[in-house]
Amino acid sequence: MAQFEATYQKSAQYPKPAGLVLQYGTAGFRTNAKQLPHVMFRMGLLAVLRSLRTRATIGVMVTASHNPEEDNGVKLIDPMGEMLELAWEGYATQLANAEQDGLVTALRDIIEREAINMDHSASVFVGRDTRPSSQSLSQAVQDGVSALGGHCQDFGLVITPQLHYLVCCQNTQGRYGDISVEGYYKKLSEAFIKITKNAPPRQPLRVDGANGIGALQLKALEPYLQGQLTVLLTNDGSTGKLNHLCGADYVKVQQGAPQGMEMGLGERCCSFDGDGDRIVYYYNDDKGRFHLLDGDKIATLISTFIKELLTKAGLDLQLGVVQTAYANGSSTHYLQDNMKVIVRCVKTGVKHLHHVALEFNVGVYFEANGHGTVLFSKAAEEKIHQLAKDASAAEERRSAAAQLESTINLINQTVGDAISDMLLIEAVLAVKGLTVQQWDAIYTELPNRQLKVKVADRRVINTTDAERKTTSPAGLQEAIDELNRKYRLARSFVRPSGTEDVVRVYAEAETRETADALAHEVSLAVY
Ligand code: NG1
Ligand code: ZN
């Protein structure tokens, strides 16, 4: 077929370094940008095949999120804005690792296995972050799409969740929102204004944009908020380097403020990550002590708000919260025992959380690192819409349903979204009249520590029970159990990272000292 000849010819522009092996992991491909041109071209090819297979538009986002600026990466987005289907991650790996001469064979293999009809037309949306390498890598994706005869639309600089939103809008013929970045601004800002219209004015919010695309997009969105929220932006990318000493990941791991952030006592501050899909909040108390409000605190705030609205509306819808092993023990305890909601623990990686959140009428999911969102089932949305327009229902019930409707519109249900999450948190704080300190006081976090351990081969560590226990190497879990028994309220676990060549250690305990000691001792047990 002519396409294959053209593809083979074009692929010579993006030669694969011989012997290089990469894997499509939890966050797609991610490594030094220099190693990626051929991967990008090939992901353009794969996106065409995925589009033909699903008969829908597929997204390709060029970003390495919170990684250093020198890195880059790529993720594919499925038709409803969800992450790429698991089986196709395998194809992605296969295609990326095929040697030059085996490329067409690898393509034919996928086409055959998936019974893809190459006569239809394919459509791919492409977006990228602000890394210096992103533009040429995005071009490589687009060249891959064109080589196989697909149609490509380049949305340029967007946060990852905006591309998820755009793909979902396109494949639902605009039912999810207008198929444009402006449509995204309008949808979110209108919902935000509706929820907060009767709330008293608030102090401005300080935002650390990680010197990335989130900063640019927030600047563009702010005028749409019509003064209902004032944002003071630092690390907006005009001088600093992407993710360097700033951003959500830095703040979460360091448990300290990012560089450049001037924090007045008690002021609300938040940080985005490099591609705008994660957010954490923080403030300094009156003793100048730093307090972090991470994904667990965010999940608690949002689920409390939604649960109260559901109760006011008299809607019997089941709300569940999905967490990972990294969720602070106090948050799990609070959600289960005080809020009486169902809590599920799953493996690290957003797709696992998303998947389980779909089982509930309303599924709230957050990783402790600040990546998360809320999913409403179709039936739940339907009930909420019905009630909001039911003139015979009591005013209090109807207005709660109207608030829920706006909440649904404010949330990016396709994936975790720093801007959408930020607006939702700001709306909840405004409506409930909560300061950041009051929000923080909902429960007290157990002191915790994360460490990274370099080992010869991290794959020797295997885990079970949503990664909370190891099954190999022999004796490791027994050693960890023993260490956990040494300290009060202690819990710790280890797991191989899916995105870095390290083993991660997590420990929590009653005091800062014991949490640190436990993390250290567990990391020694890993060697
Ligand atoms: P790994 O490297 O597998 O721990 C990290 C984060 C995940 C997730 C992915 C994707 C932690 C402990 N892990 O995964 O939560 O966000 O990156 O970016 O934060
Ligand atoms: Zn990210």
**Is the distance from CB of 37 to CB of 29 less than 8 angstroms?**
no
Determine the distance separating the centroid of ligand 2 and the alpha carbon of 274, expressed in angstroms: 6
* Residue 336 token pair: 């289960």
Taking the centre of ligand 1 as the mean of its atom positions, its distance from the CA of residue 403, in whole angstroms, is 33
Average pLDDT over residues 73-83: 97
Pick the CATH number of 448-526 from 3.30.310.50, 3.20.20.80, 3.90.550.10, 3.30.70.260: 3.30.310.50
Closest-approaching ligand to the CA atom of 66:
2
Q: Compute the distance from residue 391 Cα to the ligand 2 centre, in Å.
A: 43
The reported pTM is: 0.96
- Give nearest CA residue, ligand 1 atom 5: 499
Ligand 1 atom at shortest distance from the alpha carbon of 27 = 10
Contacts of residue 254, defined as CB under 8 A and 6 or more positions apart, other chains included, come to none
Q: How many CA atoms lie within 13 A of 197 on its CB side?
A: 10
Question: What CATH number is given for 295-440 in this structure?
Answer: 3.40.120.10
- CA–CA distance, 161 with 414 (Å, rounded to integer): 7
Which bound ligand lies closest to the C-alpha atom of 451? 1
Cβ-based burial of 522 (10 A; exposed 0-12, middle 13-18, buried ≥19) = buried
Tell me the binding residues for Mg(2+): 65, 273, 275, 277
518 in helix, strand or coil? helix
Instruction: Supply angle C-alpha 416, 418, 424, rounded to 5.
Output: 90
Calculate mean pLDDT across residues 240-254.
96
Q: Report which bound ligand comes closest to the CA of 366.
A: 1
Q: Tell me which architecture the domain covering 182-293 has in CATH.
A: 3-Layer(aba) Sandwich (3.40)
Q: Tell me which residue has its CA closest to atom 19 in ligand 1.
A: 369
pLDDT of 24 reads 93
Grade residue 427 by pLDDT with cuts at 50, 70 and 90. Answer: very high
pLDDT given at position 493: 98
Mean pLDDT along residues 244-249: 98
DSSP code of residue 264: -
- Ligand 2 centroid, distance to 139 Cα (angstroms): 21
Q: How far is CA 430 from CA 31, 328, 399, 439, in A?
A: 41, 26, 17, 11
Residue 1 scores a pLDDT above 80: no
What integer is the mean pLDDT of 7-17?
A: 94
Question: Could you give the CA distance from residue 145 to residue 142 in angstroms, rounded to a whole number?
Answer: 5
Mean pLDDT, residues 110-131 taken together = 97
Q: How far does the centroid of ligand 1 lie from the alpha carbon of residue 101, in Å?
A: 34
How far are the Cα atoms of 194, 202, 207, 281 from residue 368, in angstroms, in the given order? 29, 26, 19, 12
| Distance from Cα 349 to the centre of ligand 1, integer Å | 6
Residue 147, classified by CB atoms within 10 Å of its CB into exposed (0-12), middle (13-18) or buried (19+), is buried
DSSP-assigned letters across all residues of 144-185: HHHHTT-EEEEEEE--HHHHHHHHHHHHTTTSSS-SSHHHHH
What does 29-93 look like in DSSP terms, one character per residue? EEEEGGG-HHHHHHHHHHHHHHHHHHTS-EEEEE--TTS-TTEEEEEEE-TTSPBPPHHHHHHHH
Q: What is the pLDDT of residues 266-288, one digit of tens each?
A: 999 999 999 999 999 999 999 99
Strands (E), 392-468: 448-453, 462-464
The confidence band for 253, taking pLDDT boundaries of 50, 70 and 90, is confident
How do the domains of the chain map onto residue ranges?
2-157, 182-293, 295-440, 448-526
Atom number in ligand 1 closest to CA 506 = 12
Residue 349 CA: nearest ligand 1 atom is: 8
Task: Give dist(CA 278, CA 422) in Å, integer.
Answer: 10
Q: Supply the residue whose CA is at minimum distance from atom 9 of ligand 1.
A: 349
Distance between Cα 348 and ligand 1 center (Å): 7
Q: SS3 of 368, please?
A: coil
Average pLDDT, the chain: 96
CA dihedral 326, 330, 331, 336 (to 10 degrees): 120
Count of Cβ atoms closer than 10 Å to residue 240 Cβ: 20
> Can you list the positions of beta strands (E) in 98-144?
123-128
Helix (H) or strand (E) holding 364: strand 362-366
List residues bridging with 74 in a β-sheet: 29, 62
Asked if the model's pLDDT at residue 438 lies above 70, the reply is yes
Which of 124-128, 190-194, 447-451 is the least confident region? Answer: 447-451
Residues 296-351 have pLDDT tens digits of 999 999 999 999 999 999 999 999 999 999 999 999 999 999 999 999 999 999 99
The pLDDT value given to residue 501: 87
Residues 171-212 pLDDT 10s: 999 999 999 999 999 999 999 999 999 999 899 999 999 999
Task: Tell me the best of 497, 501, 505 to mutate to test the pocket of ligand 1, counting ligand atoms within 8 Å of each CB and taking the most.
Answer: 497
For the annotated binding site, the residues are 65, 273, 275, 277, 367-369, 495-499, 504
- Among 67, 298, 323, 348, say which to mutate for ligand 1: greatest number of ligand atoms within 8 Å of CB: 348
Within 6 A (CB) of ligand 1 lie 26-27, 65, 326, 348-349, 367, 369, 371, 497-500, 504
Tell whether the torsion through CA atoms of 31, 295, 437 and 290 is positive or negative.
negative
Architecture of the structural domain at 2-157: 3-Layer(aba) Sandwich (3.40)
Alpha carbon of 197 to those of 12, 78, 226, 406, 474: distances in Å? 57, 35, 11, 12, 59
- Please report the pLDDT score of residue 90 as a whole number: 97
pLDDT at 94 over 90: yes
Q: Measuring from atom 11 of ligand 1, which residue has the nearest CA?
A: 369
- Following CA atoms 323, 324, 326, 331 in sequence, which dihedral angle do they give, to the nearest 10 degrees? 20
* pLDDT given at position 28: 93
Phi-psi region of 193 (alpha: psi -120 to 50; beta: other; left: phi over 0): alpha
- Amino acid identity of 417? D
| Number of the ligand 1 atom closest to the C-alpha atom of 252 | 19
Which residue ranges make up the annotated binding site for substrate? Answer: 367-369, 495-499, 504
Give the pLDDT confidence score for residue 3 in this predicted structure: 81
Substitution site in 29, 272, 369 for ligand 1 pocket (most atoms within 8 Å of beta carbon): 369
- Give catalytic residues, as residue numbers: 65
Which-ligand-closest: CA of 501?
Answer: 1
Q: Could you tell me what percent of the chain has a pLDDT over 90?
A: 96
**Could you identify the atom of ligand 1 that is nearest to the CA of residue 278?**
16
ipTM of this complex: 0.97
